Structure 1
């Protein structure tokens, strides 16, 4: 079953509010280059799962995760003020696996391209095992010409 219109709107609004708060309101130096990729809200609007990606190495990801966990209360308060729901949803942060899966997919595609290039090199040096054109040619009868008639008379 798909998400309702209201849950989609609340999720989109939470995504905007959290992104703005991470840019301006949270002053934690551990917060790296963060992108909020998705927000999913339960049907009763009680819980919000926030998915994010961080540009950088594993250390930057761990520091950003710690910064988000420490700023969870501030972010929830900001969400409550900005959205104006009767009950502010609890929030939980999840590191999005999108960059890792994209990197894995790119490596698989690169390996396939290398195999294709190797196969192309092998094909360029290949020769036919038998004849170059193994198919029979249709025999076409030729009409006698004037020269053929002259040679027959001699």
Structure 2
């Protein structure tokens, strides 16, 4: 197991190398506007996962995935030359859906803001249907009869039949 700090540094270096190589070395016409967003290396430094996004529609994303899969060997050799490590990790490209998810969340939050504003507008002139404070208040100390409890007075319990007495 390698040092986690070393794995993080290698991941950052792989991200830089791959993004520069995609821009300058890969001339595949299927490759769209690809942005490398992140790279992660396993603890043993044997495998690297490179996350990327593609600007465009679903067909451009699919074509770019095929282009990256076919260019994996060239990119791996470039990583090996520029890092100088003994064993070059295998590269796996994964489409990053975080920007799409973030956009969808932003749109959902905007819809909620509009709904809240509409609800606040409706609520401005509203009044209560009943009392303003519908909750019961506890009785004041002077209002209760002395000698009564929740279960009733001692006389009430004595008059009740034997089977209906509650054990308190």
TM-score range, shorter chain: 0.7 to 0.9
CA distance in 2, matches of 1:125, 1:64: 56
CA distance in 2, matches of 1:49, 1:130: 62
Q: How many residue pairs align between the two structures?
A: 130
CA distance in 1, matches of 2:79, 2:130: 75
Q: Unaligned 5+ residue runs, structure 2?
A: 133-168
The normalised TM-score by structure 2 is 0.72
Determine the structure 2 residue equivalent to 1:4: 4
Distance 1:127 1:76, change over 3 A: same
Determine the structure 2 residue equivalent to 1:141: none
SS at match of 2:116: helix
Runs of 4+ more than 6 Å apart: none
Superposition RMSD on alpha carbons, in Å?
Answer: 1.7
The normalised TM-score by structure 1 is 0.78
Q: Unaligned 5+ residue runs, structure 1?
A: 133-154
Superposed displacement of residue 108, structure 1: 1.6
Determine whether 1:106 maps to 2:106.
yes
CA distance in 1, matches of 2:75, 2:54: 18
1:1-154 to structure 2, matched below 5 A, reads 4-127=4-127, 129=129
